[in-house]
Structure 1
Amino acid sequence: MVRGAFLSLLSTLITLLPTLSASAQNGNSTLTGTVTDGLGKAIARVTCKLLDSNDSLLAYTLTKSDGTYSIKNKPGARQITFSYLGYESAAAPLRPGKTRYDATLKRNAIELDNVTVTIDPITRRKDTLIYNVEAFRQQEDRSIEDVLKRMPGIEIDDYGQISYQGKAINKVNIEGLDLMGNQYNQATQNMPAEAVAQVEVMERNQPIKALEDKVKNDRATLNLKLKKDYKARPFGEVDGGIGVSPTIWNNGLTAFNIARKNQLMVSASMNNCGIDLSGMTHAMDYYGSQYNTEPLPQPFLYSPTARTPPLSKQYYLDNKSYYAALNYLHAFTKEQTLRLNVTWWRDNSLKRDSTFNRYVTRQDTVSIYENNKIRDKQDLVKGQLRYELNSRRWFINDEVSAMLSHGDALNRNGSNLGPIEEDVNRRTYYVQNVLNATLNTGPRLFEISSLTRFYRQTSYERASVQGGLPGQEAGPMASPVHYSAASMITRNRIGTSFSVPLGSLMLGYILEYKHNNTAASYLEGKQRGSYWLHTIEPVYEIMLGDVDINVNLPVEYISYEYGGGRAKRRKVMFSPLVDADFTISTLLTADLTVGLIKGADTQATPFNGIIINNYRTYTVGTDSLQTSRTATVSASLAWLNTASMLSWNIYAGWQQIKRERYWSYLYTGGMTVISPVWRDNRHTSWSVVGNMKKIWRTPEISLKGSVSYSYNKELASQNGTEDYIRYSAASADVALNWNKLRWLSARLTAAGNVTWKRPDAFSQGSNVLKNIYYTLGATLYPIAGLQIRADMSQATFEISHGQYSTNIFVNAGARYDITKTVAVMLTAVNLLDRRRYEESRFDGANYAYTGVPLRGREVMLGLNLKF
């Protein structure tokens, strides 16, 4: 009944889908047959697909060991196809009254050189999709991530986070083992594409074996299957490059050794040519982190500038960056593993920009300009040691992790205040232990999870201001300023689940305690705050055939105290949330979420006094606990047809957040003061996002595109003026790749966006701004082993109404594989020698302009060695 109601609600959209179109036929019969090879020998595990007139998949099955199959006929079915790796595919049109269709598959003719073997790009084995890498890999693809981006249903963001059908994946395994944990981007961005034979996507995979058939999981797990020649031996690459204008370099090393019980990955890189390596330190979404994730506190001190433009960092990042990582896993058995992951990163960059900000009020307009030159030095080392037992009865993992970082930013700034020199220095470390345990007794599950972390940060700021314009005096700086912040948090959960009518009931209790301790050099003593948070968490999972509904009814009680009892608060919060997953067909899935979530802001560090953030920014701290209420509704549809190589997903969401507090801004020429105002306010937003990916194998064309629209309404308060501002943004992008010819490939990407806002107390116009980007590229393969590529990109930004800034970039490169293991490379970046980038934007009620100097023309010669 639930499924029927949902189908009715979405009928307008779904009737557009070919496989769900109405049909006058009745397909109640069962189709049978036998699949053999040319010698009459039965072939097992042949994929048998039932297709309609548009080649859309209606049903599928696999042949048994004796070569026989049985598949239920479907309305609209027109043909049945047979495919198996190493054999040519076969097809049989369906005829009225006929129910038996036998097939004979011929082996593919395979030569060692110069002949392409045709294989099915995607095959299905129950809930696992198997992507054959060679069917998607192009000549210019270097890493397995390059190939993953071409696969339907898979999306990868700028940091390497992988999503499948619109949802972040659980993890990435290599030959069935979890070597990388939440740093799997290090492997996908460095593993050579030619080393991987298949990518297995295990849909709705429950990675904890003790929870299989007990707790459903709507996310996928990826498994990289290596080619036979790359198993149980070292393989990898060494890169070296040097160039001029000025002297630039780019060097790297990647080594893998993937065996049955031991897996090792070592990687390192260093460059000064604008390649940002910080992404290698970013943690990816990872399974089992629901109760064990806690963001780090935000620092009091920060630089007021360093705007990041929407360009490739190779055009503007003036850097010296270094990175190294060691990842090792030992499997005691198939169920017990021990893993070590260590990452080190260093970055020394010079960040320069020119900014102009106009802050609008009813009475006056305040304009602030800055010319910044920041020498930013960052060091980070982090590691984790993890033990895991993953069996049908027991799941135990214990992970000890630690991080140490040091940052120093020296800014020589010319501004309204005159010449300024400011130094912001921070040292941060934490030590953390995470424990998860599950016992499956059959009728019941028992779970324990625990997070304990000790955190500390020390920071200081020194600033000197020389002169200044009349009326532009700086604020009351107390330079040098020293801060120290320490916190301890422990979160512990116990839970159980058992079967009830229509599904299962999970009951959990969470006890959380956090203590904050802060100090400032200009205030006496230390400031202390703490809270106890108790949560009772019942979850009812209802399973109605192809519909899975989770009803979450958590109740929280928080007891907050600050300053030895000077400030106290007690609060009970109830946060019902319902999430429903619908498997409408083998091709189409849907998700619907409705919730009313109440919560307390436990991330903010309490502070009673003025916080000096930088030379011109001051925040009035608060020692009171803020709570909020969030009403949310979202729905999504995801489609994947492996036969037609088409995937798409649509997301729509609405959210309204009611908070007890907002921030009021006071801008003057010399300082910015941010103060809390304790009054209810609402932030309303809604958005619609759609994307698709389609591959045509015969003309070798792939098409990828997305569209989005978002609307926001939120309260703005500055310089005594308050009003709700309403702003919108619409964007679209498309990417087209053509690889029909062996000697030529071409690509086109284009994107555009429009932003606007409604008139309000800060401005009477709509403030429409438009931007457009496109890139054209081509790669030639004139002789075996030689690649010559070139691309041109243009970015046009509307700086103010009717005034545009255009940046055009032309790049080129070549690669020649001397042997299978040795290649030489030549790259040329920014051949037109563009020297400056400009953009403008509306940030809420205000206008901001940014100008960034560019690196200029650079040419590099490189050498690549494979082993």
Structure 2
Amino acid sequence: MRGLSAIIICSALLSFTAVFGQKQLKGKVKDISGKGISSVNVTLKDTEGNIVSFNRSDSKGDFSISLKNENVINYNLEASSIGYKKTAVKIDDVNKSYDLVLQNGEINLETVTVKNRPKLTSNGDTLNYRPSDFADKQDRSIGDVLKKMPGIEVAEDGKVSYNGKAISNLYVDGDNLLDDKYNIGTKSIPQGAVDKVQVIQNDQPIKMMRKNNTSDDVALNLVLKDEAKLKVMGDATVGAGTPNRFDENLTAMLFNKKLKFINNIKGNNIGIDPGIDLTSHNFSDYLKRLDNDKPSGLLSTGAAGVPSLPQSRYLFNKAGLINLNNLYKFNDDLQLRANLYYLYDERTQQYNKFSKTYLPTETVKYTEIQSNAVNPQKLRAQFNLNGNADKYYLNNNFVLDYVPFKTNSGIVINSIPAYQILKQETLDVSNEFSYRKKLKSDDVLNFYSYLNRTTQPESLNITPGLNADILNNGQAYAGLNQYTKLPTSYTNNYISYALFSNKFMQTYRVGFNVQSQNLNAELYKIQNNHTIELVSQNAVNDLDWLKTKFYTEGSYDFTGDKLKVNLSLPLSYNLINYEDRGNNLDKSLVRFFVNPSMNLKYQTSPENYVSANYSFKNDLGGIDDVYKGTVLRNYRSLFANDAPISESKIHSIGAGFNFRKAMQMLFINVNAGYSDAELNTISSYTLTNNIQQRVVLPLSNHVKSLSLTANASKYLFNFRSTVNAGVSFAQSDYQQLQNNDLLPINTQTITYKAGIDAKLTSFINWSYNATYSITNNKTQTENAIKTNFQQLRQQSALSFTTVKNVYVNLSAEHLFTHQSTQPNLNYLFADANVKYKIVKLKTDLEFGITNLANIKTFDAIYLSANSLTTGTYYIPGRVAMLRARFNF
């Protein structure tokens, strides 16, 4: 008993010491006569406007605010009270006393009816949502709530957009913890831990550039509640089901000022791909900026792709993922981030398909059955050092990727059986360095360097040998082996200088990049007596490729109160040399390019703007366009080239209108775009019922594309519902060369979508989404070939509370497909889920059944230009799962 008393006394003394040991920021609130004012709200806000601490003045007007640390220089101390005008002062010394003088202000009070209705607040370029206004008791993660917020859209792959524009970053309390792979954040961070979801328009993460901000990016920032920053939180899930199913998950999170992390380990075989957490949603934009074009993989098994269903309905998998994301802040300006993950997966896929390609004089068709066992793996180690201060910016990003991939595939093509083994092994190491320095003149100097080394050996083995008439003089043989290697070294380096003058910014850049590659490829045939020999001397590549680019660029920005304009004038000198002595290839190319672009944004009102853009781009192809030796890309595709390097000249123009009334929660966006690409080469395909052969030939042609989109989102206060609607139109005109027929093709797709997420009562929620798309393809020839495809997809969910802490979810998905030459396809999937919350134990018990109708096959129709493919996929049937989730 004495020991217990001692522990209590010690704990009390420690608590007393901690409280009274904190630094106190002191001052007094006065009126203009110098008299102290009582009960005034005094708040301390950081440089981003977030409340750090607060208190009220006492009867004499004195106040004191406790500080967790003394790093509050340049923070604002703000005082406000009814009947007075708000005032604020900037903190420059934590040891001095601050006097806040309030002036009398008029009070105009309107009649207010309190309905506890959701509201948004706006502060400059930042829009603040309160998650608690949109969440219900069944929402677990912040991602569940984002889907309900008007103006915000979450795609099936987790990609988040605001009013039609994809977000560039998801910050957690202002920090970029997840580096564009933010799915794990939206899935794991509890919605109850988030105080505000901030939409930051014109997001500029580099501090020194915020004064002259020319950014047009949109980002989300999750502002966490104070209590969510005090301890490690997370959840653990254990699940088992039938037939032979498991689902396990462990997540731990911490979000304090010095250390932030989201660490997760998970595994399942219920069709949920853990690899979706590794999706980099802006990866294509990143690759364009790097300017390092290289084929991602030359070989494949020629699989038919995946059905038009949510992945969890068709995927047979057994997968595990370790995903570690840790960020440590040395101080407010310097941080180190480590993102590490390893994914292991085993997948199976079975399907059969029938394909037709319509040509003016014939129809090429084939049938296929394929059974695939796929083993993808991904390993990444990424380390980022970031210094972000008012006078300098330092960013160094080191990445190592190792991606082994193996597929075993049993196939039957036109009743001929065969077996494939595909092995791919990519090792990619890169380092990206950027340093900016603000000079005394406020001009900014920037050094940038990117280094990359990639190796990607591949092999494809096929047994027995196929297409003997083409590959073995008509004689039966045992098999084929295709080997390729494509090691690539690349560097990009530049120096830039930015000058500022009032609302104008000029940036001048000069640099160079070098890409060195060697394509080594051989195609061997295995005879029945086990001898191995080249298919022919034309099936070998030993191609050396060197691409050098020297460039300079002038970029001019004007940022006014309403008008923002960017004009870019890049000039480049491009030199390419490539040589393959075995194929009598030794060529070079020199080009000088001017690729101007212009972007304009005009603020028609504080919340609305119109935008316009134009660009002209000259582009050159890569090593994949010039190798002459034949490569067996998959079991039915032989590719080669007989043309110079592909060159394109692309004119692009676009315009948009973004409209919002944030306080009424109405968001509308309309965008249009048109591009005309002139090409100097075309792919010529020779098609038979068994194989396709492609040769790239020199032939001038155009690809013209038109797109129109319009979307709207609105919160209906009286019905406590978020509704959305949209329409999109896309059209392409291009030429296709097949069996010596040059086919001008026109493709049109129009898509309509609508949805609602409603709170019917305090204990019933309902959602509904529908998408209807129409695709038309036709060849603009005398004997025109036309194909038409229509598809309607509907999804609905009903969730309600039956008795205390018992929640029921019912959901259904309907898919209807119509194609004039095929029978209509109708599918209805239904799921049910019951959850019981044990509040005292912080545990949820959950029982669910997916695919109640036990559908085990799914028929699909696909259109592509003048081709029609119908296929049948085998999918998981009914699955029942029992889970226990413990929250801590």
In structure 1, the residue matched to 2:256 is 259
Cα distance in 1 for residues equivalent to 2:611 and 2:83:
36
Equivalences for residues 430-509 of structure 1 within 5 A: 430-441=428-439, 442-465=441-464, 479-499=480-500, 503-509=504-510
Q: Which moved more, 1:524-533 or 1:589-598?
A: 524-533
Partner of 2:225: 227
1:462-507 Cα shifts (integer Å, max 9, x gaps):
1013789999989999722221110001011111121358612111
CA gap of 1:296–1:284, structure 2 versus 1, over 3 A, is farther
Cα distance in 2 for partners of 1:763, 1:838 equals 30
SS in 1 for 2:192: helix
Specify the SS of the correspondent of 1:521.
strand
Structure 2 partner of 1:573? 593
Partner of 1:860: 881
1:614 and 1:288 mapped to 2: Cα distance? 29
Residue 354 of structure 1 and its aligned partner are, at CA, apart by: 1.1
Q: State how many pairs are aligned.
A: 777
SS at match of 1:173: strand
SS of structure 2 residue aligned to 1:229? helix
Look up the SS of the partner of 2:719 in the other structure. Answer: coil
Q: Which residue of 1 aligns with 2:551?
A: 535
1:703 is aligned to 723
Question: Which whole-Å CA distance do the structure 1 matches of 2:540 and 2:855 have between them?
Answer: 53
Cα distance in 2 for residues equivalent to 1:604 and 1:349: 29
* Distance in 2 of aligned mates of 1:230 and 1:212: 29
Shift of 1:196: 1.2
- What's the CA shift for 1:291? 3.8
| Equivalent in the alignment of 2:10 | none
Partner amino acid for 1:657? Answer: A
Are 2:512 and 1:511 aligned? yes
RMSD of aligned C-alpha atoms? 2.9
> Aligned residue for 2:602?
582
Query: Shift of residue 613 of structure 1?
Result: 0.7
8 Å CA contact 1:232–1:260 kept in 2: the answer is no
**Equivalent residue number for residue 659 of structure 1:** 679
Q: CA deviation at 1:285?
A: 2.2
Contact 1:306–1:352, Cα closer than 8 Å, also in 2: no
Amino acid of the structure 2 residue aligned with 1:134: S
Q: Name the CA shift for 1:107/1:734 in 2 (closer, same or farther; >3 Å).
A: closer
Amino acid at match of 1:838: D
CA distance in 2, matches of 1:411, 1:502: 61
After TM superposition, the structure 1 = structure 2 runs for residues 177-196 of structure 1, keeping only pairs within 5 Å, are 177-196=175-194
Q: Kindly indicate whether the alpha-carbon contact (under 8 Å) linking 1:769 and 1:801 is maintained by their aligned counterparts in 2.
A: no
Report the counterpart of residue 521 of structure 1 in structure 2: 522
Compared CA separation, residues 762 and 174, structure 1 to 2 (3 A)? farther
1:288-328 Cα offsets, whole Å, 9 max, x none, are 88744646532111121132111112221111111111111
User: Partner residue of 2:136?
Assistant: 138
**Partner Cα distance (1:704, 1:127) in 2:** 23
Deviation of 1:222 after TM superposition, in Å, equals: 2.0
1:11 maps to: none
Match of 2:617 in 1: 597
Give the C-alpha shift of residue 865 in structure 1. 0.5
CA distance in 2, matches of 1:282, 1:295: 20
Q: Is the 8 A contact 2:413 2:690 kept in 1?
A: no
User: Counterpart of 1:685 in structure 2: which amino acid?
Assistant: S
Unaligned runs of 5+ in 1: 1-38, 46-62, 72-98, 109-116
CA distance in 2, matches of 1:624, 1:837: 44
**1:629 and 1:659 in contact (8 A); partners too:** yes
Q: 1:531 to 1:569 in 2, by over 3 A?
A: same
User: What SS does the corresponding residue of 2:280 show, helix, strand or coil?
Assistant: coil
Q: Which moved more, 1:697-706 or 1:480-489?
A: 697-706
Matched, 1:548 2:564: yes
Unaligned ranges ≥5, structure 2: 1-36, 44-77, 87-104, 524-538
Q: 1:625 to 1:605 in 2, by over 3 A?
A: closer
Q: For residues 70 and 661 of structure 1, what CA distance do their matches in structure 2 show? A: 69
Normalised by the size of structure 2, how large is the TM-score?
0.83
For the structure 1 residues 486 and 106, does the alpha-carbon distance in structure 2 shift closer, same or farther, using more than 3 Å as the test? Answer: same
| Deviation digits for residues 633-682 of structure 1 (CA, Å, limit 9, x no counterpart) | 11111122221111121111111111111111111122110110111110
Give the 5 Å matches for 1:305-324: 305-324=303-322
Identify the residue that residue 762 of structure 2 maps to in structure 1: 742
Cross-structure match for 2:126: 128
- 1:810 deviates by 1.2
Give the percent of matched residue pairs that are identical in Structure 1 and Structure 2: 19
Pair 1:558-2:574 in alignment? yes
- Please tell me whether the aligned partners of residues 529 and 561 of structure 1 are also in contact (alpha carbons under 8 angstroms): yes
Q: Deviations over 1:328-383 (max 9, x none)?
A: 11101101001100011111111111111111222221101111101011111012
Which whole-Å CA distance do the structure 1 matches of 2:279 and 2:566 have between them? 31
Q: Larger Cα Rg: Structure 1 or Structure 2?
A: 2
Structure 1 residue aligned with 2:109: 103
CA distance in 1, matches of 2:591, 2:340: 41
| Residue 208 in structure 1 maps to residue 206 in structure 2 | yes
Deviations 1:493-530 (A, max 9, x none): 11112135861211111201000012123466732101
In 1, the alpha carbon distance for the partners of 2:607 and 2:150 equals: 12
Question: 1:395-406 counterparts in 2 under 5 A?
Answer: 395-406=393-404
In 2 relative to 1, CA 535–467 (structure 1 residues): closer, same or farther, beyond 3 Å? closer
Whole-angstrom distance in 2 between the partners of 1:803 and 1:469: 37
Aligned-partner residue type, residue 828 of structure 1 = I
Equivalent in 752, 763, 770 of residue 772 of structure 2: 752
| Alpha-carbon contact 2:364-2:687 (below 8 Å) kept | yes
Q: What does 1:299-310 align with in structure 2 at a 5 Å threshold?
A: 299-310=297-308
**Is structure 2 residue 788 aligned with structure 1 residue 768?**
yes
CA contact (8 A) 1:291 1:449 kept: no
Q: Aligned partner of 2:271: which letter?
A: G
The one-letter code matched in structure 2 to 1:550 is N
Superposed, 1:358-397 pairs within 5 Å as 358-397=356-395
CA distance in 2 between partners of 1:624 and 1:841 (Å) = 33
Q: Judge conservation of contact 1:121–1:133 (CA < 8 Å) in 2.
A: no
Residue 847 (structure 1) aligned to one of 861, 868, 871 = 868
- TM-score if structure 1 supplies the norm length? 0.85
Q: Report if the CA contact (8 A) 2:785-2:866 is conserved.
A: no
Does structure 2 conserve the Cα–Cα contact (< 8 Å) formed by 1:475 and 1:616? no
| Separation of aligned partners in 1, 2:674 and 2:107 | 50
How far, CA to CA, are the matches of 1:655 and 1:829 in structure 2?
44
Q: Alpha carbons of 1:469 and 1:297: their partners in 2 closer, same or farther (altered >3 Å)?
A: closer
- Letter matched to residue 494 of structure 2: R
Structure 2 residue aligned with 1:819: 839
